[in-house]
Structure 1
């Protein structure tokens, strides 16, 4: 890499931090190991060289290399890696949201009618927030997961509606709680005509956009009231490290059975998928979950951060 290319590389990294993660020039200086004046010049250089527009058009070479390595190692069709060295989780999540919106836009821009199936969660919500509005009323957005907790409340991260608002298309909600009260109750929910109609439509989806959840005390499923502290502890005893749509995944990437399976109402997923499933996930707390999803072949695409990518590539 030439001296000029290295300078552009550092300017692009500074631009990501400044324009996307909201870091100050002093923060950037500390994290890049340069003076504040140099950090200021790097941000200015990024603007002068046309690297910054609506998005940052010059990729960071290390991130590109990590993305290519992940694609080769795990057979991914799509992979984007954003800078994360020295950043905290909020900054990383914002970067993933911006990069993820670009990946989503490839599907949403198409003029042919698309069925877009969407999970739930904070990361997906943030990513959809970064999307521009598309005039694509021919597209349909289908929910893959119920957003009702055991107390009847709904999570704030029921994101398919937000996706439908971005496309001006139709929105199909999955009419069920994530976990029914009992196996018999699950049967009642899942045999409803509307439930069957929505899941049949989801089975025809051109693409699925999902998050990858981690399992720990205070994780989103726990904090939002879907699983109890006792259930979290039991899942951890079974070496569960990840979940997708309520399907629990062990360290080896394989599905782990639990008593919750008999009450789960979300659309069925499986390891070693042949479907077009793109996940958006990053941050230190997600490293083990991302590794498990990749090992098990649960996804065909991933938007993540540098540290998460390195953790996945370090797996034997």
Structure 2
């Protein structure tokens, strides 16, 4: 974009957003068409020259929060208002609550672990800045090594870290390898071992839960076949936390399925001061319930529809 075009884009955007001029007024003042004004306004947003911060108070369902907190003895819970017309609004409502909470609990010198996924990517893009001193962010589990599939884990981690003026540390290995022997050798590498030491030192870990389905990124990346997932279902597995599979009763996988994973263990997650699960969608309810039964989650961020489904499943099982 030439300096002349950039100057015009800036003028149009400032007239629209700062001076509250109407688009036809701007068109007349710039001697351009109204459609060109609209295009320049949209371009300013696309290029990141214009951004918005919405600072609405959080709307939560206190009855659902209290019931879930009492049943599962949670340290903290946030149940956001669900929007049935657009999932993005529900995600935004949940991220508002998460961002506010993280800004309260993250202190100078903390080491925070985060996992990857669609939910975590959205959360990383909708945080409220709160610069802290000497904070570190580390990735909790490996990604995928298939060039046709991306978890966006690097970008997600960087966004979390930059929001707090923190440094970041990648775990640049696959989430799954062919067998436990290979996983063990990789973990012995000095650089990888340094990352695992950081993971051990985290007080706060933030993750979502996956659910067992044929559209999983791990199926698309070739780690599992659709048939493998059918077998997992038959064995009672309903989801995963940081690529480690859990059953509907809260028990986790053992043997090769568990030991092939390169990342934080579920035993470690249970010991963390803040083990924060962020999960949205009725399809994740089984996995959320399993994470609560297994004691892997002591802090939950979700929405009304998902929370109600978790409670419905809990009551049906007569736990």
Smaller-chain TM-score range?
Answer: 0.7 to 0.9
Distance 1:183 1:201 in 2: 22
Q: Which residue of 1 aligns with 2:284?
A: 286
Q: Which residue of 2 aligns with 1:93?
A: 91
Distance 1:250 1:106 in 2: 33
Q: Report if aligned partners of 1:118, 1:210 keep a CA contact under 8 Å in 2.
A: yes
Q: Which residue of 1 aligns with 2:228?
A: 231
Distance 1:202 1:171 in 2: 12
1:59 counterpart = 2:59: yes
Distance 1:94 1:231 in 2: 34
Distance 1:203 1:90 in 2: 34
- In the alignment, which of 201, 205, 209 is matched to residue 202 of structure 2? 205
Q: Pick closer, same or farther for the CA change 1:220–1:153 going to 2, 3 Å.
A: closer
> Mapping of 1:231-270 within 5 angstroms?
231-257=228-254, 259-270=256-267
Distance 2:179 2:269 in 1: 29
Structure 2, unaligned stretches of length 5 or more? 1-52
Q: Which residue of 1 aligns with 2:158?
A: 161
Q: Report if aligned partners of 1:143, 1:173 keep a CA contact under 8 Å in 2.
A: yes
Q: Which residue of 1 aligns with 2:119?
A: 123
Q: How far is the alpha carbon of 1:137 from its aligned partner?
A: 4.6
Secondary structure of 2:123's aligned partner: helix
Distance 1:220 1:232 in 2: 12
Distance 1:285 1:195 in 2: 34
1:222 counterpart = 2:207: no
Q: Pick closer, same or farther for the CA change 1:296–1:107 going to 2, 3 Å.
A: same
Q: Report if aligned partners of 1:146, 1:175 keep a CA contact under 8 Å in 2.
A: yes
Q: Pick closer, same or farther for the CA change 1:222–1:106 going to 2, 3 Å.
A: farther
> Mapping of 1:69-148 within 5 angstroms?
69-84=67-82, 86-87=84-85, 89-108=87-106, 110=107, 112-148=108-144
Q: Pick closer, same or farther for the CA change 1:84–1:223 going to 2, 3 Å.
A: farther
Secondary structure of 1:186's aligned partner: helix
Q: Report if aligned partners of 2:280, 2:302 keep a CA contact under 8 Å in 1.
A: yes
Q: Report if aligned partners of 1:81, 1:305 keep a CA contact under 8 Å in 2.
A: yes
Q: What is the aligned-residue RMSD (CA, Å)?
A: 2.4
Greater gyration radius: 2
- In the alignment, which of 178, 183, 193 is matched to residue 181 of structure 1? 178
Deviates more, 1:141-150 or 1:223-232: 223-232
Secondary structure of 1:242's aligned partner: strand
Q: How far is the alpha carbon of 1:299 from its aligned partner?
A: 0.6
Q: Pick closer, same or farther for the CA change 1:141–1:310 going to 2, 3 Å.
A: same
Secondary structure of 1:302's aligned partner: strand
Q: How far is the alpha carbon of 1:147 from its aligned partner?
A: 1.4
Distance 1:195 1:242 in 2: 26
Q: Pick closer, same or farther for the CA change 1:250–1:87 going to 2, 3 Å.
A: farther
Q: How far is the alpha carbon of 1:259 from its aligned partner?
A: 3.7
Q: How many residues align?
A: 260
Distance 2:227 2:57 in 1: 47
